């Protein structure tokens, strides 16, 4: 019994925790999260977001430069920069309206075909983040 008490006392004094190995610099480097941006190689080009005869309505989720072209006359009739969540509408009577601002007053020629373009100005890039792998989860021991 005296031996068991002595062992217990030694464990309390020395501690019961396992020794923690020092992490090497190489391993620390692998554990850190790294992020970088890389070009995709795809050139930004104008995108026709809506085309047709009036009335036309489009909500821009992302802001940026836009323009409206009359395809029948092959002429640009309006251009502006819109904020995110801006509603752009084209109608014969009122013209081209972005939000609450008239950018090309009406009247427009009835029956013409119009196209709304988004003209991106940023480079196409991909954002990459690399970090340590997630820990493997232990399978559940309970039955569903």
Which DSSP string corresponds to 74-87? Answer: TEEEEEEEE-TTEE
pTM beyond 0.85, yes or no: no
| pLDDT digits 0-9 by tens, 35-70 | 888 888 888 899 999 999 999 999 999 999 999 999
* Residue 140 predicted with pLDDT over 90: no
Element (H, E) at 68: strand 64-70
**Count of all residues that appear for the chain in the document:** 144
Predicted confidence (pLDDT) at residue 16 exceeds the cutoff of 60: no
From CA 134, how far away is CA 78, in angstroms rounded?
51
Reading phi first (left if > 0) and then psi (alpha if -120 to 50, else beta), residue 28 is in alpha
């Amino acid at each position: 019994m005296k031996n068991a008490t002595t062992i217990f006392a030694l464990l309390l004094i020395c501690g019961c925790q396992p020794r923690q190995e020092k992490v090497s610099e190489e391993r620390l480097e692998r554990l850190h999260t790294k992020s970088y941006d890389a070009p995709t190689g795809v050139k930004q080009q104008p995108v026709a977001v809506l085309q047709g005869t009036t009335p036309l309505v489009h909500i821009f989720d992302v802001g940026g430069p836009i323009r409206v072209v009359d395809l029948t006359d092959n002429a640009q009739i309006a251009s502006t920069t819109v904020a995110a969540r801006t509603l752009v509408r084209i109608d014969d009577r009122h013209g081209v309206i972005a939000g609450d601002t008239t950018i090309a007053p009406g009247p427009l020629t009835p029956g013409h075909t119009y196209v709304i373009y988004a003209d991106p100005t940023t480079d196409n890039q991909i954002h990459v983040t690399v970090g340590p792998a997630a820990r493997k989860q232990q399978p559940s021991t309970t039955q569903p």
